[in-house]
């Protein structure tokens, strides 16, 4: 549903860390018409859409150097707390739910590689999207560990894009400057379903926080501050 996709892109929280929302909800409601993210419309039987947003952004090193980087922000499924809609939808885990999760993660990886192909970028610097804090509850069982999920979901996608080189994402931002391959590379940010890109920024030591504090993606990837964003089906 395109309207749900637009809602998830537009209705973003300034910050959301493990379902903790340290922002002024009343002020957000007054100025933008909502107090919490559209992902709260998810239920135990239906999740709101999983989306990705690409932009070309200025990026600054810790020493103040500037380049422009192609970055795609993709959203892993959040299993860091039982209060997350993703946890409530997929758990208790069974064979059918696992198959669905693998399929959904494959779609997420497809966003990355299809973006690289459409933008004519020959290299993807890939992050373990969903493999950090979000994987806490997944990793409580050997049968649902993140490494298994990544292998089952990513491997078939890589076969569809043999022309694209995959490398491990270096430390953000300075590792990107050391590699100095901005022109033909797509960098992957591990975003979340709730917040604006960057989430807690300087107070957030996740990958998203480091990208946020080093780039202009908070405003470039939010429809109210970037009216030039377009929607594409993948």
Digit-by-digit pLDDT tens for the chain (234 residues) are: 999 999 999 999 999 988 889 999 999 999 999 999 999 999 999 999 999 999 999 999 999 999 999 999 999 999 999 999 999 999 999 999 999 999 999 999 999 999 999 999 999 999 999 999 999 999 999 999 999 999 999 999 999 999 999 999 999 999 999 999 999 999 999 999 999 999 988 888 899 999 999 999 999 999 999 999 999 999
227, part of any domain: no
42, part of any domain: yes
232, part of any domain: no
- Which structural domain, as residue segments, surrounds residue 157? 2-220
67, part of any domain: yes
75, part of any domain: yes
230, part of any domain: no
Report pLDDT for 230.
Answer: 96
163, part of any domain: yes
Tokens of 73: 């922000």
155, part of any domain: yes
Residue 94: Cβ-neighbour burial (10 angstroms; 0-12, 13-18, 19+): exposed
For the chain, the domain total comes to: 1
């Amino acid at each position: 549903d395109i309207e749900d996709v637009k809602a998830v892109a537009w209705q973003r929280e300034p910050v959301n860390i493990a379902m903790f929302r340290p922002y002024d909800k009343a002020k957000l409601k007054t100025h933008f018409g909502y107090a919490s993210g559209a992902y709260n419309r998810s239920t135990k039987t239906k999740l709101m859409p999983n989306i990705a947003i690409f932009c070309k952004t200025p990026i600054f090193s810790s020493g103040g150097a500037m380049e422009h980087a192609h970055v795609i922000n993709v959203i892993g499924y959040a299993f860091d707390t039982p209060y997350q809609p993703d946890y409530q939808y997929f758990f208790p885990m069974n064979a059918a739910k696992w198959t669905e999760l693998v399929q959904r993660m494959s779609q997420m990886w497809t966003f990355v590689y299809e973006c690289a192909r459409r933008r004519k970028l020959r290299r993807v610097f890939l992050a373990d999207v969903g493999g950090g804090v979000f994987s806490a509850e997944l990793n409580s069982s050997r049968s649902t560990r993140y490494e298994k999920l990544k292998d089952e979901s990513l491997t078939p996608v890589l076969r569809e894009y043999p022309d694209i080189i995959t490398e491990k994402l270096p430390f953000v931002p300075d590792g990107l400057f050391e590699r100095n391959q901005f022109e033909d590379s797509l960098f992957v940010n591990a975003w979340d379903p709730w917040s604006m890109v960057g989430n807690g920024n300087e107070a957030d030591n996740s990958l998203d926080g480091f990208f946020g504090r080093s780039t202009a993606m908070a405003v470039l990837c939010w429809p109210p501050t970037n009216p030039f964003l377009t929607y594409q089906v993948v």
